Amino acid sequence: MQRYSDNAFLTGLVLVCTTVFFWGILPIALVFSLKLQDGTTITWFRFLVAAVVCIAYQAWTGELRQYKVLTAREWLLLALAAAFLIIDYVLFIYGLTYLEPSAMTVFSQTTPLFLALGGILFFGERITWVQGACAFLLFIGLGLFFNASIAEIDFAQKGFVTGVLLAVSASFIWALYATLQKKLVNRLSSTNILLFIYISAVVSLYPFSDMGSFAPLDSIDWLILGFCAINTLVAYTTFTESMKYWPSTHISSVVATTPVITILASIAAHQLWPETVQFTPVNMLGWIGVVLTLSAALGFNIKPRKKQKV
């Protein structure tokens, strides 16, 4: 079981909260970008910018030499991490051809569960009965939060089972990517791990991207697209870095609150751009779910006081 220093808690908290914030607000920016470009092309550009920034920074700091010390096994883990992240993206896109976005979001909430299980199985992480209760309440809260979306799901629609399998498989694959990433954080800096993944994604997604879609973009469009790219860089960097300071089980409990940030950001953005940014109103049961989810995530991560020796 990996041990963490006493001052790691606050550092990990700041990092993972930054990740959740940036992942939570990303869909707002994508609403504008997806009006002009397809998701594959936007993702390719996001990874391209992130790769260029990482290469420049690592070359300047001289950290690229870290790759020289990797063993064949570690290179394999790095390649698998990159492959899993790309597969996760592809599965999610295909899933949207069978399920509505709201349904995909519901079933994608299995991601934190898989991430927590990865921490328990591969890193020997343990949770107390209090944390177990908080985890249970967290998923109850998410269920309440998504009650309206769940009620609208057409379980009899054609391809429903296929869509669910794709959504859950994407979540499982992403958790594998995150688990492999955690295995590498003590051998490679988070920037070098992500640099390899970014380059792999850029090469893999290029044949499926529409380069001609960049020509009509004006300055505002480029600004929004640039924000999406920086968002990727910040969110994934802080997520990878948080793996050094927090167990996967703790990280998963905070990541599970991402949809709450998205809906709050959507409500705020709707006030500014009502014709562009739409959101599904949250009913009273949903708001109870928000409070329960955030409270459970907080309770899961509260550090118990150490008993004083007499």
- pLDDT tens digit string along 148-198? 888 877 777 788 888 899 999 999 999 999 999 998 988 898 899 999 999
Per-residue pLDDT at 234: 95
Per-residue pLDDT at 296: 92
**% of the chain with per-residue pLDDT over 90:** 52
Mean pLDDT of the region 241-249: 91
Task: Give the model's confidence band at 5: pLDDT under 50 very low, under 70 low, under 90 confident, else very high.
Answer: low
Give the C-alpha separation, 114 to 92, whole Å.
16
Per-residue pLDDT at 310: 37
Which residue ranges make up each domain of the chain?
Answer: 8-127+154-247
> In this structure, how many other beta carbons lie within 10 angstroms of the beta carbon of residue 95?
24
Note the pLDDT tens digit of each residue in 94-124.
887 787 766 778 888 889 989 998 898 888 8
Note the pLDDT tens digit of each residue in 261-301.
888 888 888 888 888 877 777 889 999 999 999 999 999 98
φ/ψ of residue 109, rounded to 5? -75, 5
Note the pLDDT tens digit of each residue in 139-151.
899 999 888 888 8
Give the C-alpha separation, 62 to 288, whole Å.
50
Q: Which two tokens stand for residue 287?
A: 């708001």
Residue 309 has pLDDT above 60, yes or no: no
Residue 308 has pLDDT above 50, yes or no: no
Mean per-residue pLDDT over the chain, rounded: 88
Dihedral sign of CA atoms 130, 135, 139, 144 in order: positive
Gyration radius from the chain CA atoms: 20
Mean pLDDT of the region 215-240: 94
Per-residue pLDDT at 270: 86
> In this structure, how many other beta carbons lie within 10 angstroms of the beta carbon of residue 149?
18
Q: Which two tokens stand for residue 161?
A: 């089972």
Per-residue pLDDT at 226: 95
Per-residue pLDDT at 124: 85
Q: Return the amino acid letter for 70.
A: L
- Is this prediction's pTM over 0.75? yes
Per-residue pLDDT at 304: 52
